[in-house]
Amino acid sequence: MTITTEKPLVKIEGLHKYYGQHHVLRGIDLEVNQGEVSVVIGPSGSGKSTMLRCVNLLETISAGRIYVGGDLIGYREVNGRLHDLKTKEIAAQRREIGMVFQRFNLFPHKTALQNIMEAPVQVKGQSKDVARKRAYELLDRVGLADRAGHYPSQLSGGQQQRVAIARALAMEPELMLFDEPTSALDPELVGDVLNVMKDLAKSGMTMIVVTHEIGFAREVGDRLTFMDGGVVVESGDPREVLSNPQHARTKEFLSRVL
């Protein structure tokens, strides 16, 4: 994949989010180029997960625009007026965006293999044979080829999260969203998941990663964004932001997590 700096794959413009009177996101602007790994950090309650969830419409967008691959997410704009997309159209947009959750959210009544095959067969209409072959390849890629027949409850947290990554990849998305993918894991299991994410980044996948793993941000991130209080405080090259933060709030946060 080639990196084109002129046309970002993801463009978030002036994003606001209200829960009732509670103003969670207060004008977020963020761009992610094709093939880039954009890492978002910040204290809990800073709105970083909410922003991520807006990108594939798990949260409605109160104000602002999000574009993925040039398409406006959630709306159709006709003569300057926004129209809600139909459920089916939203589902079609989500197919291009893979999502990995903090709590994995694997389907507990399906095996690892069935979890991965579900969407390609049911949504894309792939034949079971094709989907199964691809699912085995993906399981192999995340290092779990021998766990195909296991149910999620028979897997460790780290293994579940790797199956969840494989499940998202099975839809061949152009963008992957990671919502604190290692926060629910025992410390010794974090490494396996981060390694899978590193490989994915190397393969050229465009990723937005909300995380507390500063080491991952430094090593793999192309861009680091620090959010607090529903706004972007600081954004730039991860190594620069981490070694030489410009804002007092960033310095304070980093001094507590590093």
Partner 1 sequence: MKSQPDSTAPVLNKAVPVRHPGRWLSAVIILGFLALFLQSLVTNSNFRWDIVGTYILDVKVVQGVGWTLLLTVASMVLAIVLAILLAFMRQSDNPVFRWSSWVWVWFFRGTPVYTQLVFWGLISVLYPRLSAGVPFGPELFSVDTSVIVTSTVAAILGLGLNESAYLAEIFRAGLKSVDRGQMEAAEALGMGKTKIMWRIILPQAMRVIVPPTGNETIGMLKTTSLVLAVPFTLDLTFATNTLANRTYLPVPLLIVAAIWYLVITSILMVGQHFIEAYYGKGVDNLAPATVNPGAAKAAGGGADVQRSIETDFPEESAR
| Residues of this chain that bind partner 1 (CB under 8 A) | 56, 58, 87-88, 91-95, 97-99, 101, 103, 105-111, 113-114, 118-119, 122-123, 129, 132-133, 135-137, 139-140, 145-154, 164, 167-168, 171
The answer to whether 212 and 228 have CB atoms below 8 angstroms apart is no
Where does 61-142 have alpha helices with state H? 87-94, 112-122, 128-141
The answer to whether 66 and 73 have CB atoms below 8 angstroms apart is yes
Least separation, in Å, of the C-beta of 235 and partner 1? Answer: 25
**29 vs 172, beta carbon nearer partner 1:** 172
Least separation, in Å, of the C-beta of 125 and partner 1? Answer: 12
**57 vs 224, beta carbon nearer partner 1:** 57
Least separation, in Å, of the C-beta of 258 and partner 1? Answer: 31
Least separation, in Å, of the C-beta of 150 and partner 1? Answer: 5
**50 vs 111, beta carbon nearer partner 1:** 111
Integer Cα distance of 157 and 251 in angstroms: 32
Question: How far, in whole angstroms, is CA 19 from its chain's centroid?
Answer: 22
Residue 176: partners with Cβ closer than 8 Å, 6 or more residues away: 97, 98, 99, 100, 168, 169, 200, 205, 206, 207, 208
The answer to whether 228 and 253 have CB atoms below 8 angstroms apart is yes
Integer Cα distance of 55 and 204 in angstroms: 20
Least separation, in Å, of the C-beta of 24 and partner 1? Answer: 17
**138 vs 224, beta carbon nearer partner 1:** 138
**113 vs 233, beta carbon nearer partner 1:** 113
